[in-house]
Each structure stands twice: as structure tokens, then as C-alpha cells.
């Protein structure tokens, strides 16, 4: 008998949650909200996912007593695209959504491109944020030296590669075909129009800007992440006051999906110490 090369974690049943589309004036955004009296945790999705991509975190956060909230940015699953020439400002959209939901202060958990907008929100509305968890994100940093590192890591042809190759570790793709299929299904549903919209940020994100952030911060990545390898995570952490850092083994750019048990343990431990 061939030994298992991966112990798959089945997608768990989702916690009961209210779903809706918030009319925020300039846009309409889909959201889900597990409700309750626990501290709100808002999940910001990657560029290849949507509000639906947090299938492992939604029930874990709810079971731990948190009010978990996920939403899709403009043009993503369930949300209006609006005018592609005016993609809006992600921080302002999130701010309007939190006001719509009656949420005063949040813990932000953001993956990949979602990290750009979580950082921008913390810089724009610092009093509304209790903590930041940023996962496998380039953070949108525009410093020339940092951009040059990215160009060394990812040559031009990288952008033409399939998203699963870019974002999932070789271990995961080799060992978990069912998980790979589930990730593909979520990815394909994430952008109904087939074209990603990239909203604006209020700030030009730089390391100098990161150094002004004083929120408790957790940084995570996978040891096989082609976007944010451990060396890059250490560089980011050096510019974030008191940041806690973890590298998750046998995971790529989506450690929250590839290694959800480890990811959830680290996240809940961090949130529990706030």
C-alpha cells in the first residue's frame, strides 16, 4: 500500500452566518457575518479569491467566540464591479461596510493583495483597528530596492503561469488533489467578470509608512511562497514595530488554505493574547 503523502483537512461545515449585499452609496459589496457579541474579525481576501475563500477560518473563528466577517471587494463574487475606470478606494469601502454593520473596532486578517488594503486601512483609520494579521503579502511596498527584489524573485514570465502554480506549494499540489480542486473551484467563482479590479489606496505604501503603524501585528507566510518567501517576511517584520512572525512549513502563498490547522492555531493564539 502506498503511504499517504499528505493528510488532507476536509473543508468543515460553515458556521451559521447572515449574508447580504451592503449598499454603500458608491458600490454594493457582498458580505457574510457570523454575528454574536464576540470581537469582530474581518477577513480580506487575496486577488485570486473572494469572501468565500476563508472556508477554514470562518467556522474556527466563530467556534472560538469571535464575530467573523468576510466580504468581497468590488468586482469579486457577489459584489458589484461598478465603473472599471473608477475602482474606488478599498479603505473607504471597508470603512463604509463597517459602519453599515455597526462595527466600531476590528481585528483585520488579510491575505496576499488583501494585505495592501488592510495596511492602508490601518494607516487611514487607525482608531478602528485593534490588530493586524498579514499573510503572504507583498504589502504593496513601493520602495525601489524592495521592488527590485520582487523582480529578481519573479521574472516577467512568472505572470503567465497558472495561478495554482504561483500560489500553492509543490507539496500541496502533489499530495492533495481534492484540496487543489476545491481551491480551483473557489478561484474560478471569485471573479465572475474574469477581470480583476484593483482599488486605490489612500497612501503610497513604503517601509517608512509601515514604521508608523503601532497596532499589534502578526505576519505569516509559507516556506514555499514564491511571492513572499521567509527572507522577505523577515525584511517586512524589520519595519513593523514589534511584529510577530511565523513561517508555515509545506505551504505556499495560501497557507490559510494549505495548512489551515497550523494557521488557525497561530491566528487564534495571537488574537487570544490581545
Task: Give a yes or no: residue 3 inside a domain.
Answer: no
Q: Does residue 202 fall inside a structural domain?
A: yes
Residue 150's pLDDT is 95
- Residue 9 in any domain: the answer is no
- What pLDDT does 231 receive? 97
Question: Is residue 1 in a domain?
Answer: no
Q: Are 131 and 12 in contact (CB under 8 A)?
A: no
Whether 227 maps to a domain, the answer reads yes
Q: What is the pLDDT of residue 5?
A: 72
Domain count, the chain: 1
Residue with the three cell numbers 457570523: 34
Question: For the chain, which ranges sit under pLDDT 70?
Answer: 1-4
What pLDDT, on the 0 to 100 scale, is given for residue 250? Answer: 95
Q: What pLDDT is recorded for position 1?
A: 44
Q: Which residue carries 513601493 as its cell?
A: 142
- Cell 517586512 appears where? 236
Query: What Å distances lie between residue 46 and 38, 115, 181, 187, 269, CA to CA?
Result: 25, 8, 18, 10, 23
Count H helices, E strands: the chain? 11, 8
For position 110, which CATH number holds? 3.40.50.1820
Give pLDDT, residue 195: 80
Position 108 in a domain: yes
Asked, for residue 7, whether it belongs to a domain, the answer is: no
Q: Each residue of 27-62: b (16+ CB within 10 Å) or e?
A: bbbbbbbbbeeebbbbbbbbbbbbbbbbbbbbbbbb
On whether residue 6 sits in a domain, the answer given is no
Distance (Å, whole) CA 19 – CA 5: 37
**Residue 66 φ/ψ, nearest 5 degrees:** -90, 155
Domain region containing 151:
18-272
- pLDDT confidence of residue 197: 84
- State how beta strands 129-135 and 217-222 pair: parallel
Amino acid at each position: 500500500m502506498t503511504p499517504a503523502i499528505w493528510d488532507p483537512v476536509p473543508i468543515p461545515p460553515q458556521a451559521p452566518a447572515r449574508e447580504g449585499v451592503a449598499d454603500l452609496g458608491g458600490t454594493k459589496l457582498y458580505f457574510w457575518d457570523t454575528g454574536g457579541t464576540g470581537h469582530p474579525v474581518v477577513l480580506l481576501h487575496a486577488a485570486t479569491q473572494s469572501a468565500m475563500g476563508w472556508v477554514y477560518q470562518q467556522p474556527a473563528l466563530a467556534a472560538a467566540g469571535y464575530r467573523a466577517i468576510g466580504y468581497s471587494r468590488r468586482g469579486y463574487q457577489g459584489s458589484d464591479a461598478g465603473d472599471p475606470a473608477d475602482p474606488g478606494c478599498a479603505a473607504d469601502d471597508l470603512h463604509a461596510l463597517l459602519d453599515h454593520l455597526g462595527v466600531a473596532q476590528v481585528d483585520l486578517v488579510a491575505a496576499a493583495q488583501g494585505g495592501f488594503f488592510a495596511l492602508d486601512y490601518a494607516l487611514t483609520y487607525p482608531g478602528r483597528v485593534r490588530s493586524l494579521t498579514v499573510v503572504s503579502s507583498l504589502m504593496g511596498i513601493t520602495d525601489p530596492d524592495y521592488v527590485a527584489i520582487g523582480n529578481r524573485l519573479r521574472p516577467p514570465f512568472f505572470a503567465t503561469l497558472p495561478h495554482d502554480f504561483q500560489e500553492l506549494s509543490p507539496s500541496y499540489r502533489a499530495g492533495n488533489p481534492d484540496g487543489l480542486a476545491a481551491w480551483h473551484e473557489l478561484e474560478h467563482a471569485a471573479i465572475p467578470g474574469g477581470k480583476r479590479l484593483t482599488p486605490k489606496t489612500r497612501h503610497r505604501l513604503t517601509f517608512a509608512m509601515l514604521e508608523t503603524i503601532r497596532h499589534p501585528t502578526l505576519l505569516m507566510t509559507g516556506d514555499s511562497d514564491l511571492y513572499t518567501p521567509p527572507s522577505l517576511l523577515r525584511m517586512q517584520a524589520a519595519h513593523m514595530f514589534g511584529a510577530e512572525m511565523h513561517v508555515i512549513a509545506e505551504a505556499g502563498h495560501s497557507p490559510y488554505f494549505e495548512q489551515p490547522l497550523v494557521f488557525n492555531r497561530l491566528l487564534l493564539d495571537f488574537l487570544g493574547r490581545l
